[in-house]
Amino acid sequence: MVITVVGVGLIGGSMAIALKEKGIASKVIGVESNPAHQQKALELGLVDEILPLEQAVVASDVIILTTPVNALQQLVPLVLDQVQNQVVMDAGSTKSGILELIKTHPNRGRFVATHPMWGTEYSGPEAAVQGAFVSKATVICNKEESDEDAVILVEKIYKELGMHLVYMNAVDHDVHVAYVSHISHITSFALANTVLEKEKEEEAIFELASGGFESTVRLAKSNPAMWVPIFKENRDNVLDVLNEHISQLRKFKACLEKENYTYLTDLIEQANKIRRIIK
Amino acid sequence: MVITVVGVGLIGGSMAIALKEKGIASKVIGVESNPAHQQKALELGLVDEILPLEQAVVASDVIILTTPVNALQQLVPLVLDQVQNQVVMDAGSTKSGILELIKTHPNRGRFVATHPMWGTEYSGPEAAVQGAFVSKATVICNKEESDEDAVILVEKIYKELGMHLVYMNAVDHDVHVAYVSHISHITSFALANTVLEKEKEEEAIFELASGGFESTVRLAKSNPAMWVPIFKENRDNVLDVLNEHISQLRKFKACLEKENYTYLTDLIEQANKIRRIIK
């Protein structure tokens, strides 16, 4: 099977590695607009060749779109215009907008909307790693809008990558990811800015920063080119969750201001219930 | 050297393991008020015996206090009342209050105020692990208020545990830890509550929660018995940082509300500068 990866960065590159390694793809074609990334992807052996989009689509059985979500808005309709029997899938972090956009596209059935729940704070082809995706979930959205054979092929690919499948409609997906992914990035960015803003003696931060701080601030290294479009696309949900998060922080603030340590204990005990969810 | 650990939990237990393993302590005595923890500490071989505080102090060369910071308020003066030439050190996360309290104690010189920058979100003797502390920093506060021989012995112990030493006055320490540790815990607790509050379909969280969410919410499992006293002790600094953090989050909120994606990009690029500090 020949597979094209459009956008050979963290996700596309890691997928390319796994597709070859598992023997799913006999050949991986890369489509990549950034010349430095093209060269790096070839150097690292992530892809077998770099082709322009049109040629890659014609030459492929499956086209996987792993660009930032803003680029998907142009890319998905464009690729669907060109496909015959190929299967097209994306890996974007938001789903409602793009699925609304292509709802009436004559080739809508060839597209399978997916979101593999894996990533790191790094980006670009150098960020691609072996063994990504294993034991993680992939969401498939609005499955019923895709052709059955396309869904079956996509399911097979993700299972061979070691992932388990979760089915969800796009609207629910976008709400859920606002909670379990997007807000984490905002808190991490804001935490980094909090520390960088006030702390002048950076050496002191560097010396004292322990595992806990690194853990909560790690996502602050994430790329704006990926995240601004996600926040824009999922704006309403992210704003809802952000408002809720600020009001939760205000409860901690009120406890400290009023020295209400009983309520502070309650808030922390409530938070401890996350143990049920995160092992 | 006989060493007593007062409070055989995550920190005390992990220290006991390392002290024995490195041959620093020929014998480790545990002082522990919780009977279940006493039994567990003996079962796990963390300590050689459990003794009442008074007997342990008499029998020891070094007494390490690893209780929550509220207990230190009673414990440090009490132990200093009993020591002759022994060295007493703590491992508490706040420093100004306790050092102010014992400032004029006749045995002040025998006490060395320390804060090893290591921990996990777990607590109790079962949470103790081998290999803790290695390659992390330990802060020694107000060194000049301690006897020289006491400081030298404490430095030797921490170096043998594989830690590097940072010297700081207690007031600066408490400001710094508000930034690089305490605020991380509050954001994590608040993030857990945000998700638990709004999200009713827990299965969906569990399925979709990826590494990023786990990373930012992990500290929310931390014990209120440890953290409420820390927030209480370091209240002014924590409130300052929390206010700053809320105002940083409001900037993200304003960007989304006003759809100012240029400023949103600036905020994220600013946050990316944390790369200079956290590798």
Contact in structure between B196 and B149 (CB atoms under 8 Å): no
Alpha carbon A78 to chain centroid, angstroms: 21
Inspect the interface and report whether the beta carbons of B248 and A197 lie closer than 8 Å.
yes
Note whether B90 and B121 are same-domain residues: yes
> What's the total number of domains in chain B?
2
Spell out the per-residue pLDDT of chain B, length 279, in tens.
Answer: 999 999 999 999 999 999 999 999 999 999 999 999 999 999 999 999 999 999 999 999 999 999 999 999 999 999 999 999 999 999 999 999 999 999 999 999 999 999 999 999 999 999 999 999 999 999 999 999 999 999 999 999 999 999 999 999 999 999 999 999 999 999 999 999 999 887 666 677 777 887 889 999 999 999 999 999 999 999 999 999 999 999 999 999 999 999 999 999 999 999 999 998 887
B78 touches chain A (CB under 8 A): no
B135 touches chain A (CB under 8 A): no
Note whether B59 and B180 are same-domain residues: no
Q: Domain residues for B115?
A: 2-169
User: Rounded to whole angstroms, how far apart are CA atoms B190 and B184?
Assistant: 10
Residues belonging to chain A: 279
Test the A interface: residue of B185, B213, B260, B275 with most A CBs within 10 Å: B213
Note whether B55 and B127 are same-domain residues: yes
- Chain A residue with minimum CA distance to B203: A277
Helices (H), ranges, chain A: 10-21, 35-43, 53-59, 69-82, 96-101, 148-160, 170-177, 183-198, 202-208, 211-217, 224-233, 235-257, 261-272
Note whether B43 and B118 are same-domain residues: yes
Note whether A252 and A123 are same-domain residues: no
The fraction of chain A above a pLDDT of 70, given in percent, is: 97
Residue A210 clears pLDDT 90, i.e. is over it: no
Contact in structure between B95 and B145 (CB atoms under 8 Å): no
Q: How high is the pLDDT of residue A202?
A: 65
Note whether B151 and B201 are same-domain residues: no
Answer whether 0.95 is exceeded by the pTM. no
Inspect the interface and report whether the beta carbons of B139 and A190 lie closer than 8 Å.
no
Q: What is the DSSP letter of A179?
A: I
- Other C-beta atoms lying within 10 Å of the C-beta of residue B236: 13
Contact in structure between A11 and A138 (CB atoms under 8 Å): no
Identity at B217, one-letter amino acid code: V
- The residue from A142, A169, A196 where one domain ends is A169
Q: Which residues pair with A164 in a beta bridge?
A: A137
Inspect the interface and report whether the beta carbons of A180 and B210 lie closer than 8 Å.
yes
CATH (domain of B259):
1.10.3660.10
Note whether B241 and B116 are same-domain residues: no
Identity at A273, one-letter amino acid code: K
Note whether A83 and A10 are same-domain residues: yes
pLDDT tens digits, A227-254: 999 999 999 999 999 999 999 999 999 9
Test the A interface: residue of B139, B188, B191 with most A CBs within 10 Å: B191
Which chain A residues have a beta carbon less than 8 Å from that of B250?
246
User: Rounded to whole angstroms, how far apart are CA atoms A88 and A78?
Assistant: 11
Closest Cα in chain A, distance from residue B129 (Å): 15
- The residue from B142, B169, B196 where one domain ends is B169
Contact in structure between A108 and A102 (CB atoms under 8 Å): yes
Secondary structure class of A23 (helix, strand, coil): coil
Note whether B104 and B224 are same-domain residues: no
Note whether A19 and A153 are same-domain residues: yes
- The residue from B140, B169, B198 where one domain ends is B169
- Whether complex ipTM tops 0.90: yes
Note whether B151 and B180 are same-domain residues: no
Closest Cα in chain A, distance from residue B30 (Å): 27
User: Rounded to whole angstroms, how far apart are CA atoms B154 and B145?
Assistant: 14
Q: Look at strands A49-50 and B164-168 and give their pairing.
A: unpaired
Note whether B111 and B79 are same-domain residues: yes
Q: How high is the pLDDT of residue B208?
A: 83
A264 touches chain B (CB under 8 A): yes
Q: Look at strands A62-65 and A87-90 and give their pairing.
A: parallel
Alpha carbon B14 to chain centroid, angstroms: 12
Q: What are phi and psi of A267, to 5 degrees?
A: -60, -40
CATH (domain of B150):
3.40.50.720
Contact in structure between B110 and B88 (CB atoms under 8 Å): yes
Which chain A residues have a beta carbon less than 8 Å from that of B11?
none
Question: Kind and range of the H or E element at B57?
Answer: helix B53-59
Question: Kind and range of the H or E element at A3?
Answer: strand A2-6
Q: How high is the pLDDT of residue A38?
A: 97
- Other C-beta atoms lying within 10 Å of the C-beta of residue B85: 10
Which chain A residues have a beta carbon less than 8 Å from that of B214?
278
